[in-house]
Structure 1
Amino acid sequence: MAIDAVRSFSVTTGISFRNCIWIPILMITFLKFVGLAEAHFGIFLPSQRLSSACSAPDPDLYYRPVIGIVSHPGDGASGRLTNATNASYIAASYVKFVESAGARVIPLIYTEPPEQLLKKLDLVNGVLFTGGSANSGLYFETIRTIFKKVLEKNDGGHHFPLYATCLGFELVTMIVSEDNNILEEVSARNQASTLQFTENATIDGTVFERFPPGLLKKLNTDCLVMQNHHLGISPRRFLDNKKLSSFFEVLTTSKDENNKDYVSTVSSWNYPVTGFQWHPEKNTFEWASPRIPHTEEAIQVTQHVANFLVSEARKSINRPPEQEVLNNLIYNYIPSYSGKAGRGFDQVYIFT
Structure 2
Amino acid sequence: MASDLLSNSSTNSSATETSNLEIPQRNLVPAASHSRYADSWNYLWIALMISLSKEPSLARAEESTSVAPIQLELELAEDYRSASVPRCIEPDRKLNFRPVIGILSHPGDGASGRLNNASNASYIAASYVKFVESAGSRVIPLIYNEPPEVLYEKLNMVNGILLTGGRAKSGLYYETVKVIFKKVLEKNDAGDHFPLYAICLGLELLTMIISKDTDILEEFDATDQASTLDFVRNSSIEGTVFQRFPSDLLKKLSTDCLVMQNHHYGISPGKLLANPYLSSFFKVLTTSTDRDNEVYVSTVQARNYPITAFQWHPEKNAFEWGLSTIPHSDDAIQVTQHVANFFVSEARKSLNRPSAREVLDNLIYNHSPTYCGRAGRGYDEVYIFT
TM-score (norm 1): 0.90
Note the C-alpha offset of 1:188. 0.1
Note the C-alpha offset of 1:29. 10
Map Cα deviations across residues 160-198 of structure 1 (whole Å, 9 max, x no partner).
000000000000000001010110000000000000000
1:231 aligns with 265
Map Cα deviations across residues 248-283 of structure 1 (whole Å, 9 max, x no partner).
000000000011100000000000000000000000
The 5-angstrom pairing of residues 332-343 of structure 1 reads 332-343=366-377
2:199 aligns with 165
CA 1:152–1:47 in 2, change beyond 3 Å: closer, same or farther? closer
2:333 aligns with 299
1:325 aligns with 359
Moved over 3 A (4+): 16-31, 47-50
Map Cα deviations across residues 42-64 of structure 1 (whole Å, 9 max, x no partner).
x9621444723422110000000
For 1:106, which of 128, 140, 158 is the aligned residue? Answer: 140
CA 1:135–1:28 in 2, change beyond 3 Å: closer, same or farther? closer
Q: Distance in 1 between matches of 2:84 and 2:174?
A: 60
1:269 aligns with 303
Answer yes or no: is 1:57 the counterpart of 2:99: no
Report the secondary structure of 1:168's partner residue: helix
Map Cα deviations across residues 11-54 of structure 1 (whole Å, 9 max, x no partner).
xxxxx6685475389679979xx7xxx9xxxx962144472342
CA 1:159–1:47 in 2, change beyond 3 Å: closer, same or farther? closer
Answer yes or no: is 1:23 the counterpart of 2:65: yes
Report the secondary structure of 2:283's partner residue: strand
Report the secondary structure of 1:186's partner residue: strand
Q: Distance in 2 between matches of 1:144 and 1:174?
A: 10
- Give, as a single letter, the amino acid of the residue that structure 2 aligns with 1:297: D
Report the secondary structure of 2:373's partner residue: coil
2:158 aligns with 124
- Consecutive unaligned residues of structure 1, counting only runs of 5 or more, are 11-15
Q: Distance in 2 between matches of 1:292 and 1:93?
A: 13
Q: Distance in 1 between matches of 2:272 and 2:347?
A: 28
TM-score (norm 2): 0.82
CA 1:52–1:146 in 2, change beyond 3 Å: closer, same or farther? same
Report the secondary structure of 1:45's partner residue: helix
Identity value in percent = 65
2:23 aligns with none
Q: Distance in 2 between matches of 1:72 and 1:21?
A: 78
1:240 aligns with 274
Note the C-alpha offset of 1:116. 1.1
Report the secondary structure of 1:23's partner residue: helix
Q: Distance in 2 between matches of 1:196 and 1:45?
A: 54
1:13 aligns with none
- Give, as a single letter, the amino acid of the residue that structure 2 aligns with 1:290: S
- Give, as a single letter, the amino acid of the residue that structure 1 aligns with 2:307: V
State how many pairs are aligned: 334
- Give, as a single letter, the amino acid of the residue that structure 1 aligns with 2:201: L
Deviates more, 1:307-316 or 1:112-121: 112-121
2:19 aligns with none
For 1:257, which of 291, 311, 314 is the aligned residue? Answer: 291
Report the secondary structure of 2:139's partner residue: strand
For 2:175, which of 123, 136, 141 is the aligned residue? Answer: 141
2:102 aligns with 68
Q: Distance in 2 between matches of 1:283 and 1:48?
A: 45
Answer yes or no: is 1:45 the counterpart of 2:79: yes
* Structure number with larger C-alpha Rg: 2
2:236 aligns with 202
- Consecutive unaligned residues of structure 2, counting only runs of 5 or more, are 1-51
- Give, as a single letter, the amino acid of the residue that structure 2 aligns with 1:158: D
RMSD: 2.4
Q: Distance in 1 between matches of 2:176 and 2:63?
A: 86
Report the secondary structure of 1:220's partner residue: helix
The 5-angstrom pairing of residues 310-321 of structure 1 reads 310-321=344-355
- Give, as a single letter, the amino acid of the residue that structure 1 aligns with 2:338: H
Q: Distance in 2 between matches of 1:85 and 1:203?
A: 43
Map Cα deviations across residues 324-347 of structure 1 (whole Å, 9 max, x no partner).
001100011110001111111000
- Give, as a single letter, the amino acid of the residue that structure 2 aligns with 1:161: P
**Structure with greater proportional helix content:** 2
CA 1:28–1:279 in 2, change beyond 3 Å: closer, same or farther? closer
